[in-house]
Copies of this chain bind each other. A is one copy, B any other.
């Protein structure tokens, strides 16, 4: 999602942009009305967040112009609390929502999401191999819950089954290459996973290759 944010207070803008980015909202920020209007007319945003007090061209004027041009992008107006006339004029002019300053970023995010009707999306990360289904979001293996480290390990193995994963690579990936020399971490968790595979009576197993590493295979294969 991409929004246009027209705001002249630099510090506020930076803070807000940072938080919006964290919520997967890309922000184009401009600090004066003229540039803002130009972008609003030219580009295709999912939403426009518009401060009312702006240099060169007021938020109300921008709103009026884009609505005159039949651009229906949702607009959220911002203004200092108490500037009642602005609020009224904004809504009359076709703003979709209004937020008084100061506001919580969380509320702005909620309103942007509400206006854009974007269901908070989460990529489904589900992998299968043989009779195994690993759900990386829920950290379950055929429904059975895994701990985080177990899940980390299973995710690597099942993403590339039938392929050897070096112990050092697994270690680096899961424990972060903090100069840990303890291969035993990996061995312990491989052991835990094997136990769970046995419990599930899976046809899949973890094969170890001495001196090399591990790979996920189906029992009949070698």
Contact = CB atoms under 8 A, between A and B. Distances in A.
A164 B137 contact: yes
Interface stretch (A39-47, A54-62, A173-181): A173-181
Contact of A119 (B98, B120, B148): B98
A188 interface: no
Interface residues of A, number: 53
Contacts of A177: 19, 22, 105-106
Contacts of A148: 210-212
Contacts of A210: 147-148
A159 B110 CA distance: 13
A91 B98 contact: no
Interface string A85-98: 10110011001111
A106, A107, A159: most-surrounded residue (chain B CB, <10 A): A106
A119 B100 CA distance: 13
A12 interface: no
Question: Which 3 A-B residue pairs are closest in the complex by CB-CB distance?
Answer: A106-B176, A104-B176, A148-B211
